C-alpha cells in the first residue's frame, strides 16, 4: 500500500473518513474525493489531497482520473437511504449506477488501476418475479452488474465488496448511531432540566443482523484491493448475527439517565421494522417477509480468505459510538 | 386503438416509421417523438403530431409526458449497433437505460398509461460468469431490468417485447437491407458502365435466424399494448429459422445484373460473422460460440397467445426491400 496512489470516493462519508485516515496512515498517497469543499478541512489528515468532483459529471470524472492516475480506486460514494430512494428513485440510479459507470469508463484508459466498488447486501435477484424490494436495491444491483460487466467487457481489474452493517464512530445514519444520538439527547435534556425526547421506537428487536466495525471493514478493503481476485465479490462481515434488541441493550447500558424506548408489540417479529431511516436497517426491507425478497445467498468469496479478520469487538464499537456522539460537533474520528 | 393517444418514441427510425403509419391508419391519435425536426416532414402521415424531444433530457421527457398525457407509449427509441456500442459504451447506457428510465419515471404520474418497451434477444443472463458479450447486450439487459423493476416498484403497466430480426422496406441497417443496397449499387454501376462494387462478404451463410416483417411486428406491438399482461415479456417472431445464405439467395434472385459476393471459407460455421454492422446480426455475437453467451431461452409469453400472427411472407418482405432500395431517396414506406 505504501507509496501507492489511492483515490477514495465518498471520502467525507462515514466509511470514507475512516478509509482516508487508515490508508493515509498506512503510507498511501491518498486522494480524497468530495462533492464540494469540506467546511472543516481538518476532516482529513495532513498530507491527504482533497479533490472536489461531482461524480455525476462524466467529463469531470474523466479529467480527475487522467490527472490523479490512481493505482487503486476505492469507490465508496453513493446514496444509501431506502426511504430516500422511494422519494427520488432516479437520483439513486444516477448516483449509484451512472456515476460508477463514469468512473469505470474513465479507468478504461488507466488499465492497471484496480477499482473496488462497495456493493450492498440489499441487492435482489434480477431473475426474481417479485422484482426489487425498493429502488435502492435496484440501484445497487445494477451497480454490481455494470461494474462486473465493465470488468469482463474491457478486461479491467474490477472488484466488489459486500459489507455487512457497518458501525463505529462517525457520521453514520445507521441504527446504532441513531440510538446513540437518542441516548445523548436524553442525557443533555436531563442536564438542562428539559423534558425527555420522545421514545425511540424499536419494534424489530428480534431481527438478526451482522454488525461489523467500520474500521475493520476499511482494513478488509485494503486486503481486497491488494490481494483480491478480479471480477469477484467479497463479503465482509463479523460472522456473528446479533439481535437488534441485544445491541440496543448494550448501548442503553452506557446511558447516564433513563432513556425512553418503545419496544413495539409483544410479537416483535410480526411488527414493523425499526423506525430508523438507517441504510443498514431499512424500514421497507427489515421485516421477515421483505427480507426473503432480498438476495441473501453466500457469495463464493469472503474477505477472510485473503487473511483478513475483524479485530474490533462489538463492545468497543458501541463505546466508541457513544463517545463520538457525546463529543458532538467536536467529535473527530 | 381508435381515438387513443399513442406516443411513439424513435418515430423516425426503421420500426418507428412503420409504427406511426400503422397506428395512425388504425385511428389512434399518434404523437411521433423525434430527436430533431425531420427534414422530410412527409415522413409521417397527415394528422400525426410530431414532437421534438431529446429523451436524454429528463426534464424535457417529463414535460412531454405531462403535455401529451398518452394512453399508451410505444418505446422504440434506442441505439442498436453492436460495433458502435464498443466504441462508445456509455452512450449505450445513457440512451438505452437512462432515457428509458426518464420515460418510466415521467409515466409514474400518468398511472393508467401503458408502456411497451422494445427489448432485444441479445440480452445476457445477469448471473452468468462470462458477463455480457458486448456493451449493447449489457444496455438492453439493464433496460429490461429497470423497465420491469419500475413496473413492480411503482405498480406501472409496463410491458416488454422481444422481436426477432425485423426486415422490410425502410431505413434499416440490417443484413437484408445492406445486401439489397449492394444489389442496387451493382445495378446502378452496370447501367452507368462503371466497375462493380467490391464483393459483399457473407461468411456466416449457415447461421440460422428468425426474420419477421417489420409491419407484422408493429401489429404485434398493437396486440401487446391493447391486450398484453403487465410485467410480461412477449416474444415476437415468425416461428421459422432461415439460413442467412437462403435469404441472400432470394435477394440475389432479384438482381438485374451479376453481383459480387464473397461467401467466405468452406466451413462457414467456423468463420467470422457477416461483415454487416447490422444490429440484427452483430459481428461480435453471431459466431456460434458467442451466441451461446446470449440468453436464448424461450420466455413464457409470445405475442401469438394474444391472437396475433404474422401475415407477410418472406418473399414479399424481400421484394419490398428491393423495391424500396431501388426507389432511392424517393422511397417512402
Q: What is the pLDDT of residues A274-320, one digit of tens each?
A: 333 333 343 333 333 334 444 445 457 899 999 999 999 999 999 99
CA of B12 vs chain A CAs: smallest distance (Å) = 27
Contact A255, A183 (CB under 8 A): yes
Across the interface, of A89, A98, A138, the residue whose CB is closest to B98 is: A98
Q: What is the DSSP letter of B97?
A: I
Residue A56 forms contact with B (CB below 8 Å): no
Strands A29-34 and A5-9: parallel
Dihedral angle over CA of B265, B268, B269, B274, nearest 10: 100
Across the interface, of B135, B142, B148, the residue whose CB is closest to A145 is: B142
ipTM associated with this complex: 0.86
Cβ of B131 within 8 Å of Cβ of A151? The answer is yes
Contact B250, B204 (CB under 8 A): no
Write out the CATH class of domain A5-165+212-238+297-308: alpha beta
Q: Which helix (H) or strand (E) holds B247?
A: helix B244-252
Average pLDDT over residues B118-124: 92
The band of B286, judged by pLDDT with boundaries at 50, 70 and 90, is: very low
* The CATH fold of domain B5-169+212-237+296-310: Rossmann fold (3.40.50)
Average pLDDT over residues B268-295: 40
d(CA A233, CA A121): 11
Backbone angles phi, psi at B131, to 5 degrees: 75, -175
Distances (CA, A) of A110 to A10, A62, A74: 20, 11, 15
pLDDT at residue A127, rounded to an integer: 83
Cβ of B131 within 8 Å of Cβ of A142? The answer is no
d(CA A131, CA A117): 23
Chain B stretch 66-95, residues whose beta carbon is closer than 8 A to a beta carbon of chain A: 89-90, 93-94
Cβ of A90 within 8 Å of Cβ of B145? The answer is no
The band of B275, judged by pLDDT with boundaries at 50, 70 and 90, is: very low
Percentage, residues of chain A above pLDDT 70:
86
pLDDT at residue A40, rounded to an integer: 56
Higher pLDDT, B278 or B305: B305
d(CA A179, CA A211): 15
d(CA A146, CA B21): 37
**Cβ-based neighbours of B60, under 8 Å, separated by 6 or more:** B53, B54
Per-residue pLDDT of B67-93, as tens digits, reads 999 999 999 999 999 999 999 999 999
pLDDT at residue A310, rounded to an integer: 96
Higher pLDDT, A283 or A237: A237
Residue A126 forms contact with B (CB below 8 Å): yes
Residue A168 forms contact with B (CB below 8 Å): no
Q: Considering only CB atoms, which chain A residues are within 8 Å of B101? A: 90, 93
CA of A102 vs chain B CAs: smallest distance (Å) = 8
pLDDT at residue B3, rounded to an integer: 81
pLDDT over 80 (residue A76): yes
Nearest chain A residue to B58 by CA distance is A90
Across the interface, of A90, A125, A154, the residue whose CB is closest to B105 is: A90
Cβ of A127 within 8 Å of Cβ of B126? The answer is yes
Per-residue pLDDT of B203-220, as tens digits, reads 888 999 999 999 999 999
Higher pLDDT, A36 or A256: A256
d(CA A12, CA A55): 14
**Cβ-based neighbours of B165, under 8 Å, separated by 6 or more:** B174, B175, B209, B210, B211, B212, B280, B281
pLDDT at residue B205, rounded to an integer: 87
Residue B31 bridge partners (DSSP): B7, B49
Distances (CA, A) of B288 to A89, A225, B206, B292: 39, 37, 10, 7
Average pLDDT over residues B115-124: 94
Residue B119 forms contact with A (CB below 8 Å): no
Higher pLDDT, B34 or A296: B34
Average pLDDT over residues B56-70: 97
**Cβ-based neighbours of A53, under 8 Å, separated by 6 or more:** A33, A34, A35, A60, A61, A64
Cβ of B153 within 8 Å of Cβ of A138? The answer is yes
Residue A212 bridge partners (DSSP): A166
* Interchain CB contacts (distance < 8 Å): A and B: 72
Average pLDDT over residues B107-115: 94
Q: Which of B39-53, B106-120, B130-144 has the lowest mean pLDDT?
A: B39-53
Residue A319 forms contact with B (CB below 8 Å): no
Across the interface, of A58, A89, A98, the residue whose CB is closest to B105 is: A89
Per-residue pLDDT of B149-204, as tens digits, reads 999 999 999 999 999 999 999 999 899 999 999 999 999 999 999 999 999 998 88
Cβ of B148 within 8 Å of Cβ of A131? The answer is yes
Dihedral angle over CA of A296, A302, A308, A314, nearest 10: 10
Percentage, residues of chain A above pLDDT 90:
77
The DSSP line for B2-69 is TT-EEEEESTTSHHHHHHHHHHHHTT-EEEEEESS--S-GGGS-TTPEEEE--TT-HHHHHHHHHHH-
**Cβ-based neighbours of A204, under 8 Å, separated by 6 or more:** A244, A264, A268, A269, A271, A272, A273, A274, A281, A286, A287
Nearest chain A residue to B148 by CA distance is A131
Contact A200, A1 (CB under 8 A): no
CA of A91 vs chain B CAs: smallest distance (Å) = 11
pLDDT at residue B295, rounded to an integer: 47
Q: Which of B116, B222, B96 is nearest to B160 (CA)?
A: B116
pLDDT at residue B99, rounded to an integer: 96
pLDDT at residue B244, rounded to an integer: 94
**Alpha-carbon torsion (A133, B77, B221, B214), positive or negative:** negative
Q: Which of A91-95, A190-194, B127-131, B310-314 has the lowest mean pLDDT?
A: B127-131
Residue B122 forms contact with A (CB below 8 Å): no
pLDDT over 50 (residue A2): yes
pLDDT at residue B203, rounded to an integer: 82
Residue A105 forms contact with B (CB below 8 Å): yes
Contact B321, B182 (CB under 8 A): no
pLDDT over 90 (residue A273): no
d(CA A144, CA A127): 15
Per-residue pLDDT of B288-311, as tens digits, reads 333 444 444 545 789 999 999 999
d(CA A121, CA B102): 27
Q: What is the CA radius of gyration of chain A?
A: 20
B89 is written with which cell numbers?
A: 459504451
CA of A287 vs chain B CAs: smallest distance (Å) = 17
What value does the mean pLDDT of chain A take? 88
Across the interface, of A131, A141, A152, the residue whose CB is closest to B153 is: A131
First to last CA, chain B: 22
Cβ of B131 within 8 Å of Cβ of A146? The answer is no
Q: Considering only CB atoms, which chain A residues are within 8 Å of B126? A: 126-127, 145
Average pLDDT over residues A229-257: 95
Residue A321 forms contact with B (CB below 8 Å): no
pLDDT over 80 (residue B277): no
Contact A11, A34 (CB under 8 A): yes
Residue B236 bridge partners (DSSP): B163
Residue B111 forms contact with A (CB below 8 Å): no
| Residue tagged 411497451 (cell numbers) | B116
Q: Considering only CB atoms, which chain B residues are within 8 Å of A152? A: 130-132
The band of A330, judged by pLDDT with boundaries at 50, 70 and 90, is: low
Q: At what angle do helices B14-25 and B214-227 cross, to 10 degrees?
A: 60
Contact B144, B160 (CB under 8 A): yes
Q: Considering only CB atoms, which chain A residues are within 8 Å of B94? A: 98
pLDDT at residue A267, rounded to an integer: 52
Q: At what angle do helices A175-192 and A314-326 cross, to 10 degrees?
A: 50
Residue B128 forms contact with A (CB below 8 Å): no
Which of A58, A131, A158 would you mutate first to test chain B, the one with the most B CBs within 10 A?
A: A131
Per-residue pLDDT of A195-228, as tens digits, reads 999 999 988 889 999 999 999 999 999 999 999 9
Cβ of B138 within 8 Å of Cβ of A153? The answer is yes
Contact A200, A179 (CB under 8 A): yes
pLDDT at residue A194, rounded to an integer: 94
Residue A185 forms contact with B (CB below 8 Å): no
Q: What is the DSSP letter of A234?
A: E
Residue B295 forms contact with A (CB below 8 Å): no
B220 is written with which cell numbers?
A: 404485434
**Chain CA centroid to CA A36, Å:** 20
pLDDT at residue B39, rounded to an integer: 56
| Residue tagged 471480477 (cell numbers) | A231
The DSSP line for B64-93 is HHHHH--SEEEE------HHHHHH-HHHHH
Residue B98 forms contact with A (CB below 8 Å): yes
Contact B219, B311 (CB under 8 A): yes
Cβ of A152 within 8 Å of Cβ of B130? The answer is yes
Q: Considering only CB atoms, which chain A residues are within 8 Å of B142? A: 142, 145-146
What value does the mean pLDDT of chain B take? 88
Distances (CA, A) of A231 to A76, A134, A247, B69, B137: 17, 26, 35, 44, 19
Q: What is the DSSP letter of A127?
A: T
Per-residue pLDDT of A167-185, as tens digits, reads 999 999 899 999 999 999 9
pLDDT at residue B290, rounded to an integer: 38
Amino acid at each position: 500500500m505504501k507509496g501507492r496512489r489511492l483515490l477514495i470516493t465518498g471520502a467525507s462519508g462515514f466509511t470514507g473518513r475512516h478509509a482516508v485516515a487508515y490508508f493515509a496512515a498506512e503510507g498511501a498517497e491518498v486522494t480524497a474525493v468530495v462533492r464540494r469543499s469540506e467546511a472543516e478541512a481538518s476532516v482529513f489528515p495532513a498530507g491527504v489531497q482533497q479533490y472536489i468532483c461531482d461524480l455525476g459529471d462524466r467529463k469531470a470524472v474523466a479529467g480527475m482520473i487522467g490527472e490523479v492516475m490512481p493505482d487503486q480506486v476505492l469507490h465508496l460514494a453513493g446514496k444509501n437511504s431506502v426511504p430516500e430512494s422511494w422519494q427520488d428513485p432516479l437520483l439513486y440510479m444516477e448516483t449509484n449506477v451512472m456515476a460508477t459507470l463514469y468512473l469505470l469508463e474513465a479507468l478504461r484508459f488507466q488499465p492497471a488501476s484496480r477499482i473496488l466498488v462497495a456493493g450492498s447486501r440489499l441487492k435482489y435477484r434480477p431473475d426474481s418475479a417479485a422484482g426489487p424490494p425498493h429502488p435502492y436495491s435496484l440501484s445497487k444491483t445494477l451497480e454490481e452488474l455494470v461494474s462486473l460487466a465493465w470488468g469482463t467487457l474491457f478486461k479491467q481489474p474490477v472488484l466488489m465488496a459486500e459489507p455487512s452493517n457497518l458501525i463505529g464512530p462517525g457520521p453514520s445514519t445507521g441504527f446504532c448511531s441513531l440510538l446513540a444520538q437518542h441516548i445523548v439527547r436524553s442525557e443533555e435534556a436531563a442536564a438542562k432540566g428539559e423534558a425527555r425526547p420522545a421514545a425511540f421506537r424499536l419494534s424489530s428487536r428480534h431481527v438478526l443482523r451482522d454488525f461489523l466495525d467500520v474500521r475493520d471493514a476499511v482494513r478488509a478493503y485494503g486486503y481486497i484491493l491488494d490481494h483480491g481476485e478480479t471480477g469477484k465479490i467479497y463479503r465482509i462481515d463479523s460472522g456473528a448475527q446479533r439481535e437488534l434488541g441485544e445491541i440496543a441493550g448494550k448501548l442503553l447500558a452506557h446511558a447516564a439517565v433513563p432513556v425512553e424506548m418503545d419496544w413495539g408489540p409483544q410479537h416483535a417479529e410480526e411488527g414493523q421494522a425499526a423506525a430508523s431511516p438507517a441504510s443498514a436497517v431499512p424500514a421497507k426491507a427489515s421485516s421477515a417477509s421483505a427480507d426473503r425478497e432480498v438476495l441473501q445467498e453466500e457469495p463464493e468469496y469472503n474477505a477472510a480468505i485473503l487473511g483478513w479478520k475483524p479485530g474490533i469487538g462489538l463492545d468497543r464499537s458501541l463505546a466508541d459510538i457513544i463517545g463520538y456522539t457525546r463529543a458532538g460537533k467536536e467529535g473527530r474520528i
